[in-house]
Structure 1
């Protein structure tokens, strides 16, 4: 029978007041960083005006050093504040200066002070947050003034009535369960792996304030109509504004084009004859000023902009439905942008970095970005407007399938559209992605159309997903009520779908993996792409072939394609540029020329992005033999030795591995940082290896006693193999094993005990009459020490080794304890299976069937558990004869 082992063996009016020293902040070390990280300074973090479509001259930036504290969810405001964090970088990021995970059962508190010199009277002070993930409660001077849920939307709070002269205290409490709550969270997961990434908890966009008059412009909505050559403009005003008047002026190069005035709170209409149309080929934007006057005096004034453009699905000359831009067919040649950064995670280090991503995509010849399951700061969309980049904006998938999660998803969808409505770059809303949280698709697609009838609605991107030509989870009405039929095909483009009145698109394809040494998030992982990994020359060949295929599909009626992806992200190396934005894997001119096979106009984008430059990757990474020659010639810098050590592992060169790793470890200036300690763990196999004492030091300094992870598991495996194993014989002396464990504190020794017992059973105790008794004796010693997995190990081992009723009943007690302790449903199902098997062997089959049925329900697809249930139903043994 299969044994269950749960061990992991594989590895203005307001002035900022700084109450803390800015000298104490330092970016936490990481494996790679971008070139902009070194530009980040606490006194001037993302200083650009955060809302480009409603600009006022006077405002206060609250980014910078704040105090922070992490507590339980039940805790009240912390009494002491010892640590600091750089806002607005997520607490998990290197740029925050913290780089710690926030767990779902914890609250994150922020605190800072600011001086208020507001004149008082009728003026209002607004506190603005670009985004806080996920649940934010805001306190000023001890009063809770507002709460917002939603990790991607901007929100504002009027804090006027809580202010006092001089110093004021601002506190923000955040709860972010990431993927364990009802909140839309995108690709953030608490245990990132594969296509899921590190979370970004807390404040991750600019925090700022402004002081306004009692009556002020709260929002505006621009609705261009190129067919009528007009701009419809809705302006929302806060406060009692009897006698107020709104004046809007459209300008081009500083010259007035048209103006309109309204006295009755009605929408304005501005006529723009011969309007210049916005497009990726000519991203022309009109300036817009809006003034609010009362009794002839201007009381509020903002600057904005807009673009005259139209997006639609129309028939081409052959009668095929296509995506049209400004009443002309326009192929959307796009790429899938995740919006992650190695140093800031969700938050770009600087505004220049934020802009770089858009210019990089355009320089490569893309005219479209699909912003994948994330919203960006307002300035990202502003840069898209300026550069001329079409944007497909994804909604962020529901957190789970509960009514609470669905309600939150719909709340956020409505806020997303309202917040992003005015950006001309956004042409398409994407409702769902690959069935992630999909529900009520027909209703929600129509709802989005009603919220914004001016854009295309992609109801489901990749609801039909092909991987290596195999269709996954097909379903009827994949694109019901949508404007688009969207198929995903990996790695090669294909399988497009045509439906009457809908534009056919390829929402994702590609994913060619090209790892670039020295620019990897984790160089200990094997390179990853959807079809393995290749070198830059092979990328050029394969990418060209993909574009040849796309051209054939475009001739048949394909309107858009989205390549995965522009940048590597964490464990994925399938970007055209590395995650640190340092190396492009093919020259932009080559990529642009390949793209021209599909859409020749992409050649024209070179002039728009002529300032873009990037370092091109070497044609091929050097092989191991060439690296050995370099080593022999005296090349021994730290980065080279690290790469050489990894190549020695890959080439199974144990003769040189010890020497290379020892030289590398000796050079380390910060051996205890995560990036280095993981490497040391990888190259350490024995207590005589140079990394062993460093791993033990790390455990003593950074881990609490009893805490277990890969490194503590690795150390215990070494101790078992080199020491504990030698104490085991036909009648083992378990006290000697315990003595060895005591000599290696703070390791808890649980894994050593587990390996010792498993070794005894499998290597020594087989067919020995006293084996079960020895096992029971050992387990009795350890009874109070184990977690659920170990209880299951003991119980399962006794089930397989004995028919002694006394011992089986002892095992039954352990299994029941394990069920109560275990929280993971899959693991709990395995322990319930053990418990049921013990009951069955004890002759208590009716009870066994009740528990085994629970185990089957909790582990759909587990063939062994289901087979055991069927045997119990038939009254058959679930153990082999002799057990």
Structure 2
């Protein structure tokens, strides 16, 4: 029978409970926009669903809720006093954590909570499980280290039985998260030290739970379906003789059982006349595995993914031995109030439902590993997933390769059983690329059941200009892949490989009052709401032509706006759809015919969003100007006016609104004021620059030291340096230095950087040497590893010049 389980049902079967912590010390922190689910979050119900649906036990307790937290220098001992309460499992930088503070690479984050030891039968063990902690977690139980895990995206578990005592017990977790300054994979949180893509997510960001298991229990479960043979291989790790039962399948049964070693058994189950899993029919079989007194519930889907020649001899992606166009979108998994963590399980599922309601059949999960329940929803709802490995530190400092490979190995193991995952993506563009052939072949060997995209976007075109060409770009992969912005294009053809367009689109359309940042709306191109549908339709018509030439898949950037990127088909708060769902399904139907069928629509019932207002932005803006002329100056109006002026192309109006907003700010500055000042301030000539300069401490606290410094550097560059640098062929650096001197270290850093880059580009090695040496010595920690290597290499090669 199809798997329809109420995951909440396990909650009534706990063998032990945790104490209820006080709920009056938490509140949602201010956030620019928020989703409809944020209001449902409280310390009593923070992500209470069973977190690991493919190895579900009844005897468990959820440890999400309020914990004590503290931030210390990373060399400090455990704090004797804690700073306050934090709502687990929301990152400390998020509004839902109740804290909303930045964690610096020079700091540690500490968590603490109490729990009651369960009553244990002879031989029973207690396991403490973490869905994910970013980045390095050291766990203590009653003052003794239970274990340590490095890697911010994968689950880990410790047997804490021997550390428990009767009555009340204590868990403490120490977290170190250096983000872009560390060696580990960090995803879209950090591009390089001086440029943060999105707000980082530090600390515990997935569910924490405990479970009681018998001494003999299932340690690991691996399922390998084979639709051609009509069998399922079930690998059970754990000492003893396991039993396997497939629910609702009278013809399913054990064919053979092989003891691989003293802790591993492989059971082959026949699944005749199997109902095949696909996005149009996501049928899942329930399965129960018993080992001694341990009972684990799971599920599996019978499906096959491959690259095979079609009847015309064209290499195509095949699903269940038939050509299946992978019509995808690039989903990054960020939330305005939870950052890496969805506010509720309903919200987690909504994203997949909404993407399916748009008519897509594939999600490329972009350099993030989601909680297990996200993949459960993808399995249940019917969505193909291309899973990215989380990119290594792009500069590849010592230790980065080992950290990347360890995290990738954990990802392959952790996600193996999900039928929705059909493709592993090794590298994205050139973000930390190395040893591509070895690593591609390693993934194919570790998991021959899926296809591998060795390098998504190894060939990257922006406005038809090729960036970063590479020889042998798709070595050992199952597909060739091109990124092309904004319009899609065909990748190269290599025999034996499918052809895909791994990213395209990025059409920026911002919607008033649904923006994370009102002062910017990034996209590869900008369109007004009324023009988006036509532009998007043309792109998809080109995809139809490419499909006839052999294109097997495409990935549109992106389904939802993310912070400053407003190029989603839906707003960041998931409230407004920029092209109606029905229209999107119609546009997509030629490539995904199932999207037009009633069953597809039925699977997305309950997905609700407002259609975008297609009124010409200039008309909306012109209706605001009379109010401004008549003296309307409230903050909300001015912020909206600035945004509408930008959309209408009135730079003067945007500047007027920004200046008026800043002029009306009252001290002390709120976080909303600080964010608005940063958005409205682009130069030292802007009123916001003086406010930022004079109130440095407040802005540094809200933004973080480095982000504040970079903002100041950019304004100094635009306001003081560019007029002098662009005015003549030969830059008078003495004049530039005099102009930036009043601004202290930010002025000195941007001056040395500009001189280093300028002399490097002109290959003026005589003048380059002293400034580059000074820049690297004084500000080298702020320079990306790639640039540092490039600048130092030039220094070494031209020492005598």
Using the size of structure 1 for normalisation, the TM-score is 0.77
Q: Note if contact 1:537-1:620 (Cα within 8 Å) is conserved in structure 2.
A: yes
TM-score between both structures, scaled by the size of structure 2 = 0.84
Q: CA deviation at 1:140?
A: 0.3
- Of the three residues 16, 19, 38, the one matched with 1:17 is 19
Are positions 1:639 and 2:633 aligned together? no
1:584 and 2:577 aligned: yes
Higher relative contact order (CA 8 A, sep 6+): 2
Pair 1:511-2:512 in alignment:
no
Alignment partner, residue 359 of structure 1: 353
Partner in structure 2 of residue 742 of structure 1: none
Query: What residue number does 1:673 align with?
Result: 670
Measured at CA, do residues 472 and 829 of structure 1 come closer, stay the same or move farther in structure 2, by a change above 3 Å? Answer: closer
The change in CA–CA distance for 1:275 and 1:627 in structure 2 (over 3 A counts) is same
SS at match of 1:398: coil
1:717 & 1:378 partners in 2: Cα distance?
A: 41
Q: Which residue of 1 aligns with 2:286?
A: 287
Q: Deviations over 1:455-512 (max 9, x none)?
A: 1011111111111112222122111111111111111111321111111111111111
8 A contact 1:792–1:815 mirrored in 2: no
1:510 to 1:78, Cα distance in 2 relative to 1, 3 A: same
- Residue 249 (str. 1) matches residue 245 (str. 2): yes
Output the CA distance in 2 between the equivalents of 1:40 and 1:631: 38
- Deviation at 1:226? 0.8
Larger deviation: 472-481 or 281-290?
Answer: 472-481
Partner residue in 1 for 2:519: 524
Taking only aligned residues, the RMSD between alpha carbons, in angstroms, comes to 4.0
Distance in 2, Cα, partners of 1:44 & 1:495: 48
Aligned to 2:74: 73
Q: Deviations over 1:517-551 (max 9, x none)?
A: 111111122x2111x21112211111111011101
Residue 45, structure 1, aligned to residue 42, structure 2: no
Cα deviation per residue 1:200-238 (whole Å; 9 max; x = unaligned)? 111110000001111111121111111111111111115
CA contact (8 A) 2:23 2:66 kept: yes
Q: Does 1:320 align with 2:314?
A: yes
Instruction: Describe the shift of the 1:659–1:93 C-alpha distance in structure 2 as closer, same or farther (beyond 3 A).
Output: closer
2:590 matched to which residue of 1? 597
1: CA distance between counterparts of 2:789 and 2:28?
A: 47
State the match for 2:96 in structure 1: 95
Contact 2:503 2:554 in 1 (8 A): yes
> Aligned to 1:17, what secondary structure does the other structure show?
coil
User: Once the 2 structures are TM-superposed, how far is the Cα of residue 121 of structure 1 from its aligned partner?
Assistant: 3.2
Query: Quick one: structure 1 residues 125 and 330, their matched pair in 2 at CA, closer, same or farther if it must change by over 3 Å?
Result: same
Q: 1:161 to 1:713 in 2, by over 3 A?
A: closer
The whole-number CA distance in structure 2 between the counterparts of 1:585 and 1:571 is 17
Q: Take 2:50 and 2:106, find their aligned partners in 1: how far apart are those partners? A: 35
Query: Which string of whole-angstrom CA distances, capped at 9 and with x for unpartnered residues, describes residues 323-380 of structure 1?
Result: 1101111100000111111111111010011001100110000000000111000000
Distance 2:182 2:107 in 1: 13
The Cα shift of 1:422 comes to 0.4
| Aligned residues of 2:364 and 2:385 also touching (Cα < 8 A) | yes
Separation (CA, whole Å) in 1 of partners of 2:407 and 2:713: 47
Distance apart, 1:91 and its partner CA: 1.0
Report matched runs for 1:860-879 at 5 Å.
Answer: 873=801
Q: Distance in 2 between matches of 1:339 and 1:89?
A: 14
Three-state SS of the structure 2 residue aligned to 1:187 is helix
- In 2, Cα distance between equivalents of 1:480 and 1:684: 46
> Paired residues, what number?
745
Note the C-alpha offset of 1:181: 1.1
Q: By how many angstroms is 1:664 displaced?
A: 7.0
Shift of 1:660: 5.8
Is the contact between residue 249 and residue 257 of structure 1 (CA under 8 Å) also seen in structure 2?
A: no
Give the Å deviation of 1:284.
0.6
Structure possessing the higher radius of gyration over alpha carbons: 1
- 537, 541, 544: which is aligned to 1:548? 541
Equivalent residue number for residue 564 of structure 1: 557
CA contact (8 A) 1:529 1:574 kept: yes
Distance 1:708 1:549, change over 3 A: closer
Equivalent residue, structure 2, for 1:432: 427
What whole-Å deviation, never above 9, does each CA across 1:436-467 have from its counterpart, x for those lacking one? Answer: 11111111111111100111011111111111
Is 1:64 the equivalent of 2:61? Answer: no
- Cα 1:855–1:372 change in 2 (3 A) is closer
1:412 aligned counterpart, secondary structure: helix
Q: How has the CA–CA distance of structure 1 residues 57 and 30 changed in structure 2, closer, same or farther, with 3 Å as cutoff?
A: same
Asked whether the equivalents of residues 669 and 698 of structure 2 are also in contact (C-alpha less than 8 Å), the reply is no
1:539 has 2:473 as partner: no
Answer yes or no: is the 8 Å Cα contact 1:792–1:814 preserved in 2: no
Conservation of the 8 A alpha-carbon contact between 1:829 and 1:859: no
Say which of 371, 388, 391 aligns to 2:385.
391
Of 373, 384, 398, the residue aligned with 1:379 is 373
Aligned counterparts of 1:407 and 1:205: Cα–Cα separation in 2: 24
Hey, what's the Cα distance between the residues in 1 that align with 2:556 and 2:544?
A: 14
Residues 1:300 and 2:294 are matched in the alignment = yes
How many angstroms apart in 2 are the aligned matches of 1:828 and 1:445?
Answer: 24
Name 2:792's counterpart in structure 1.
858
> Any idea what SS the aligned residue of 1:416 has?
helix
Partners of 2:63 and 2:39 lie apart in 1 by 20
> Any gaps of 5 or more consecutive residues in structure 1?
1-11, 294-298, 719-750, 798-811, 831-853, 874-883
| Counterpart contact for 1:334–1:367, Cα < 8 Å | yes
d(CA) in 2 for partners of 1:524, 1:332? 35
Q: Classify the secondary structure of the residue corresponding to 1:95.
A: coil
Out of 343, 349, 354, the position equivalent to 1:349 is 343
1:676 Cα deviation from its structure 2 partner: 2.3
Is the CA contact 1:94–1:343 (under 8 Å) kept in the aligned structure 2? yes
Return the match for 1:416 from 411, 414, 421: 411
Query: 452, 458, 467: which one pairs with 2:453?
Result: 458
**Is the 8 Å Cα contact of residues 644 and 660 (structure 1) preserved in structure 2?**
no
Task: Give the C-alpha shift of residue 33 in structure 1.
Answer: 1.2
For 1:120 and 1:62, how far apart are their aligned partners in 2? 22
CA shift at 1:111, angstroms? 0.8
Structure 2 SS opposite 1:53: helix
Q: Does 1:329 align with 2:331?
A: no
> Secondary structure, in 3 states, of the residue corresponding to 1:76?
coil
Q: Counterpart of 2:150?
A: 149
